[in-house]
């Protein structure tokens, strides 16, 4: 078969969503991907729901001009506040966010029904993970912590610097103190997988680390198969990238998240403001 | 006298410029101020010169609707890339940035003609401090270091957390290693004064710390007097604030930089995109 050879559109406020693209490409190597990072307006995590919703709508309009067959919101903040609006605006195009898959994975992982969620300020404030987890299992106790400094540490590529350990200790120690600490930690921001080593060093080996990238990729694969949209004629390694600011910075910092070099010639500068 | 009772307009990408407003209000307690933080699009420090220039022009257009008599660009990145464009666009209104005053203060402070500059990526890349210092004294050796993580640490209010010491050590130790280290350090980002204590702990007491806030306030006072624009009828403590995103976050995080609580009722949400 050739299948539906239109690309899958992936968007994020910046480069963090490349951890999701990485999982998607590994899972679906014969699909085509276009990735948009709204780097001129990042971060979304400290911005209000209305602002993020407006930005996300503009971002998906650009993906539509690329004739995508499915949209992945590879940004927790945008998934948290804009999934519903985007699903309605783009219907019947399937739209998949990262919150639901992450919530499902964490519910599957916990043994003691206590889950910790770390995310940006916007995601925590919106409470989307807590709602998604509660909808799956109302008996689960959820503790949340915004970890805004992690975003900057990840963008600097400080996977295991002393500053990263210190920040992880500051944020995570209180979450896992007390008599029955959570046994599962959701990395509720696409930046955070880069810091997994430092996070693991603080929380110990007994806590399950859940990142939404893998589970989101599984959900995308399922949606493609279910809707007859899959293809085996593409090449996930030849992704086209769009950024709303400096392609040089996108390529340099993006490599940290994608786990492979990005050729700056494959990154196109775009302006979303008129969309 | 009453003088020219129009307000002074101060703008920044976010809340960091409030360290400059604080110095202005202390120096000019009988002036009126309006402050605009473009929080929906912060940070400027990782964005390209063209993007920052476009944003800064929109920001000053909002200040013009408030009938300001002078504009202070309380943002190193915007000062570095947009001072010339803003000066031309707003003429004959005086426009004052933070780079020149900071450069002058550092040249006055150094004894061994070696100055270190720490700033955002955008400011360092633009090289404005290096140019401004070299224009004042061509014999001065300048070393520069982007300190992007400092921005997040300052916004989190982590003045003296272990993570802040660790990040300061990472960034600053290499700058002050070697046989004839700089004797002066320019805090080339309005966020950084919040971290002065941690920075001082790393560099020791023998290095002069220069922040542009004080010297910018002195330059504004001089410009007002020189152009007959001064007033003694205002009240600097009743500043009006504008933010392009969440007034709640502006008030909460802004208090860290302003050094006093901000009543959220004094923060008005504005949209610059149509300006």
- pLDDT confidence band for B212 (50 / 70 / 90): confident
B3 domain residue, yes or no: no
Contact B162 A170 (CB under 8 A): yes
The enclosing domain of A55 has a CATH number of 3.40.50.1860
What range does the domain containing B190 cover?
99-212
Q: What is the mean pLDDT of residues A160-189?
A: 96
The minimum CA-CA distance between B239 and chain A, rounded to whole Å, is 23
Residues B153 and B104 in one domain: yes
- Which residue out of A189, A229, A243, A262 is catalytically annotated? A189
Q: What is the ipTM of this complex?
A: 0.86
Q: Mean pLDDT in chain B?
A: 94
Nearest to A98 by CA among A82, A86, A80: A80
Residues B122 and B193 in one domain: yes
Contact B246 A47 (CB under 8 A): yes
Question: In this predicted structure, what is the pLDDT of residue A255?
Answer: 95
* pTM, 2 dp: 0.89
Q: How far is A234 from A5, CA to CA, in rounded Å?
A: 7
pLDDT tens digits along B21-71: 999 999 999 999 999 999 988 888 888 889 899 999 999 999 999 999 999
Residues A203 and A225 in one domain: no
Residues A120 and A184 in one domain: yes
Question: In this predicted structure, what is the pLDDT of residue B48?
Answer: 86
- Which residue out of A21, A42, A75, A199 is catalytically annotated? A75
A130 domain residue, yes or no: yes
More confident residue, B240 or A43: B240
- Catalytic residue check, A147: no
**What DSSP character marks residue B196?**
H
Residues A148 and A226 in one domain: no
Question: In this predicted structure, what is the pLDDT of residue A2?
Answer: 82
- pLDDT confidence band for A45 (50 / 70 / 90): confident
What are the chain A neighbours of B169 within 8 Å (beta carbons)?
Answer: 162
Res A40 pLDDT > 90: no
Question: In this predicted structure, what is the pLDDT of residue B1?
Answer: 67
Residues A92 and A47 in one domain: yes
A1 domain residue, yes or no: no
A121 touches chain B (CB under 8 A): yes
The number of beta carbons lying within 10 Å of the beta carbon of residue A174 is: 11
pLDDT tens digits along A205-231: 999 999 889 889 999 999 999 999 999
Res B125 pLDDT > 80: yes
Q: What is the mean pLDDT of residues A145-153?
A: 95
Q: What are the percentages of helix, strand and coil residues in chain B, rounded to 5?
A: 50, 15, 35
Instruction: Judge whether A79 and A45 are in contact, CB under 8 Å.
Output: no
Last residue of a domain, one of A178, A195, A212: A212
**Bridge partners (DSSP) listed for residue B114:** B141
Residues A86 and A115 in one domain: no
Last residue of a domain, one of A212, A230, A255: A212
pLDDT tens digits along B132-151: 999 999 999 999 999 999 99
Residues A198 and A164 in one domain: yes
A2 domain residue, yes or no: no
Residues A75 and A149 in one domain: no
What are the chain A neighbours of B158 within 8 Å (beta carbons)?
Answer: 149, 170
Question: In this predicted structure, what is the pLDDT of residue B59?
Answer: 96
Q: What is the tally of structural domains in chain A?
A: 2
Contact B249 A121 (CB under 8 A): yes
Q: How far is B260 from B227, CA to CA, in rounded Å?
A: 31
Question: In this predicted structure, what is the pLDDT of residue A126?
Answer: 85
Instruction: Judge whether A224 and A93 are in contact, CB under 8 Å.
Output: no
Question: In this predicted structure, what is the pLDDT of residue B2?
Answer: 82
């Amino acid at each position: 078969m050739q299948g539906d050879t239109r690309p899958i559109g992936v968007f994020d406020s910046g480069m963090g969503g490349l951890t999701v693209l990485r999982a998607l490409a590994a899972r679906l190597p014969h699909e085509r991907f276009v990735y948009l990072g709204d780097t001129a307006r990042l971060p979304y995590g400290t911005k209000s729901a209305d602002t993020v919703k407006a930005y996300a709508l503009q971002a998906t309009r650009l993906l539509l001009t690329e004739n995508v067959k499915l949209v992945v919101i590879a940004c927790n903040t945008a998934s948290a506040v804009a999934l519903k609006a985007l699903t309605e605006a783009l219907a019947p195009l399937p739209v998949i966010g990262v919150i639901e898959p992450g919530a499902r994975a964490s519910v599957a992982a916990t043994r003691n029904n206590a889950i910790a969620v770390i995310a940006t300020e916007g995601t925590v404030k919106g409470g989307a993970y807590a709602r998604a987890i509660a909808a799956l299992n109302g008996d689960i106790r959820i503790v949340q912590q915004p970890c805004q400094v992690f975003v900057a540490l990840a963008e600097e590529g400080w996977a295991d610097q002393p500053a990263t350990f210190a920040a992880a200790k500051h944020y995570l120690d209180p979450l896992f103190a007390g008599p029955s600490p959570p046994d599962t930690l959701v990395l509720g921001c696409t930046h955070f997988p880069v810091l997994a080593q430092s996070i693991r060093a603080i929380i110990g080996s007994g806590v399950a680390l859940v990142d939404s990238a893998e589970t989101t990729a599984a959900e995308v694969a399922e949606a493609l198969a279910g809707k007859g949209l899959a293809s085996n004629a593409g090449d996930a390694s030849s992704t086209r990238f769009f950024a709303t600011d400096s392609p040089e910075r996108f390529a340099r910092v993006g490599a940290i998240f994608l786990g492979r070099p990005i050729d700056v010639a494959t990154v196109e500068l775009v302006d979303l403001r008129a969309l």
